[in-house]
A and B are shown apart, each in its own frame.
Chain A
Amino acid sequence: MPGALEGFRIIDLTQGLCGPFASMRLGDAGAEIIKIEPLTGEASRTMGPPFIEDASAVFLSLNRNKKSVVVDLAKAEGQELIRRLASQADVILEDLGPGEAEKLRLGYGDVIQSNPALVYCAISAYGEEGPLRDLPGAELVVQALADYTHSLGKIGAAPVRLGADVASLNTGIMASQAVTAGLLHRVRTGEGQRIAVSMLGTLLHMRGIMWTSMTDPDEWYGFHLDHYTRPPDEGYKTKDGHVYFGLRRGSSEDWDRLMLSLGLEEYIADPRFEGFGREATSIGRHAPEVKPIWEQAFQKLSNEEVLKLIHEFRGDAVAFNTYPSLFAHPQIDELDIVKEVEQPAGGSFRTIGPVWHFADTPAEIHSPPPALGQHTDEVLTAIGLSAADLQQLRVAGVIN
């Protein structure tokens, strides 16, 4: 069965993590992704070690279901090639930075001359207006500007970032939405348009609950407010690991029996533990303060024993997993999210597959990440270039 975006062609001028994550998601959904790379290859090809053969693991994880076409955008002939590709495409995705595409005559106004119905999505680091518009972006810089470092680490200590590349990847998701929304409008009306998303805008959007919380709360209380001043939360230490738990499903009887089982009967009447520990566990008001009490009880038990005990008393509890412990868990197999991708030159690598399960238009991995320029000839021939044209461009250093 074809994917939802089958038949749409996307010219992807982006590099790094953000744009490539967006186009990979659109490719998973069936769109044809033509990835334009500079002669030296896109930035993420050298984001490593680790490398698998000559491509970084990061590159491989973000570029399946794409065709690689090498074009030097610094040359006028290269820019002309992109305009020609755009004339036969449905979408342009770019992250050149505000005003930069226009300098190459690849801006929205330039490419719609020959293809007015194009959907054009521009990704910027900080937004297309404002004093930072011309500064290139980087993951940590955007996380810091968006206040993310204040929900991590200790007050006054060295900053801590989220290990995941959220400024890039969450914005990639917003760009993927924008492109599909643009296509939906075009299919219904025939009209294309320009859409902009930004990394800073995305991260600030995702923290909206906090901006509203801080405006005029009735009381300065709740995890949307007190997370700034809480210590790092590393879960509850057990004999062999860490767990995270809450008892939101418990009843009075369950609660008393749990406390007895853990030898914590002296705390049953403690006001901090009332309401079945609602404020003493998980994200509750007293949780940081009473954590040593729980840990004293848990230190005699393994992770598995703690989880079993809490589940027995109808609480929610999970291990604070590392990657090895996560992938050893049977639940992961149920989700069918880890995929093995075969490489044409032999060998294979593991990666995270599409997240959605569509009943009728499945998102799938069709092809492995491309070698640099693997599809240059194929794609350019398909838009009408002759062998002589290709030869001439190659000699001029415009393509590989």
Chain B
Amino acid sequence: MPGVLDGIRVFDLSIAAVGPWAAKLLGELGADVIKVESPAGELSHAIPPPIKGTAVLYISANFNKRNIVLDLKNERDRTIALKLVEKSDVFIQNMRPGTVERLGLGYDVVSQLNARMVYVSASAYGRTGPMAKEAGIDPTVQAFSGWCSITGSPGSQGEMFRHLAHLDITTSSMIVEAVLQALLARERSGKGQHITIDMISTALSLQTSRLAEYFATGEQPQPMGSAVTTTVPHQAFLCQDQEYLAVGVVRADQWPRFCRAIQREDVYDDARFQDNPKRVEHRAVLTALLEDHFQTKPTTWWSQRLTQERVPNTRVSRTVDFHALRNDPQVTHNQHIVDLATPHWGTPSVDGLPWKFSKTPAGPIRPGGLKGEQTQEVLREFGIAGD
């Protein structure tokens, strides 16, 4: 069965993670994605670690694409690019503001040639203002956007998320939303349009619920370790065996079940704790009480009882065990992580598809090529004689 974007062609001129990951998701939805690189190659090639000589970032952000090389500073290759653009539906670029225009592929040029083009320009800090020209990468966006100020051990000033791609891929996801919306609008209008997006806005959007507290109170939400401002209890508890158990009571009906699971009907009967706003108000008392109580039995006991009562919980392992995670039945049954056979990089574990469509299945995930690997194939398809 064809994917939802079967018949849609994406001209992917993007670099690093933000644009490429968005184009990859569109490819997984069934689009024909042509990744265009300069002869020097885009900057992700230099990011370690590599697998058999190819940067993992490059492998990972470029599934379901064909890879071609064009030197846009050369007139002949620019003409080829324009031919491809003429027959594409989506254009994605995330170079610094002004760069794509200098390469002669700005929105004005592209939309003249192809009025149906959905054209995305992604930037780090926006296209105007004092920081417009600065290059942004995930960690600088983390630092600038206030993202780090709400995360960390209690009493700390906040810390960075050391998986340095989360805000990149969040932006990618929001690009995909916008492209799908614009393709839907095009069904009615017959016209494409220009979409702009910046990483600071996407980072703030992802902090919507924490920012709500800040806007309401004017007070900076503090790093709270595993806990959170607005819901109690929702944190990790140290158990008798010195392991941590993450627990969240996030719906009203979970509170009586939680109290039953931990065999503390007295806590359930306590008027100070009867609903979430009261528990937030009496957080210090309740948390101290629960922290003591969880220390009296090992993690397994609590986890079994909470699971029986359908209260969200999981053991928080102290160390990373990739193979245990990879082989966890929850992960394997749902194909959250899968193995991908590739011609160049063996069979790495890769991110599974984030959606399951009953009629227009996404995927299958296919490895992308090496830089320029499909140049001749794509040019032949467009009736352009290769070198």
Contacts and interface: CB of A to CB of B under 8 A. Distances in A.
Contacts of B56: 209, 212-213, 217, 222, 224
Contact of B356 (A4, A196, A215): A196
Given A62-B209, A173-B173, A337-B200, A194 B358 contact: yes
B191 interface: yes
A217 B51 contact: yes
A200 B330 contact: yes
B356 A195 contact: yes
Contacts of A249: 135
Given A139-B228, A165-B210, A170-B170, A51 B152 contact: no
Given A162-B151, A212-B59, A177 B355 contact: yes
Interface in B140-162: 140, 142-153, 156-162
22 contacts: A57-B212, A131-B330, A137-B248, A137-B312, A138-B248, A140-B248, A149-B226, A150-B320, A152-B151, A153-B152, A155-B319, A156-B318, A157-B153, A159-B225, A163-B223, A164-B210, A215-B349, A234-B158, A320-B158, A323-B211, A335-B200, A349-B216
A238 interface: no
B381 to A, nearest CB: 24
Interface residues of B, number: 158
A193 B360 contact: yes
Contact of B49 (A128, A217, A360): A217
A361 interface: yes
Contacts of B320: 147, 150, 228
B341 interface: no
Contacts of A234: 148, 152, 156-160
A185 B330 contact: no
Given A61-B211, A205-B352, A244-B140, A334 B126 contact: yes
Q: Which range holds the interface residue count of chain A?
A: 35 or more
B95 interface: no
B287 interface: no
Given A159-B236, A212-B349, A57 B244 contact: no
Q: Which 3 A-B pairs have the closest CB atoms?
A: A138-B248, A208-B351, A163-B150
Nearest to A201: B336
A400 to B, nearest CB: 17
Interface stretch (B79-87, B264-272, B275-283, B370-378): B275-283
Nearest to B311: A136
B355 A130 contact: no
Contacts of A57: 212-213, 215-217
Given A40-B252, A337-B201, A127 B226 contact: no
A3 B322 CA distance: 44
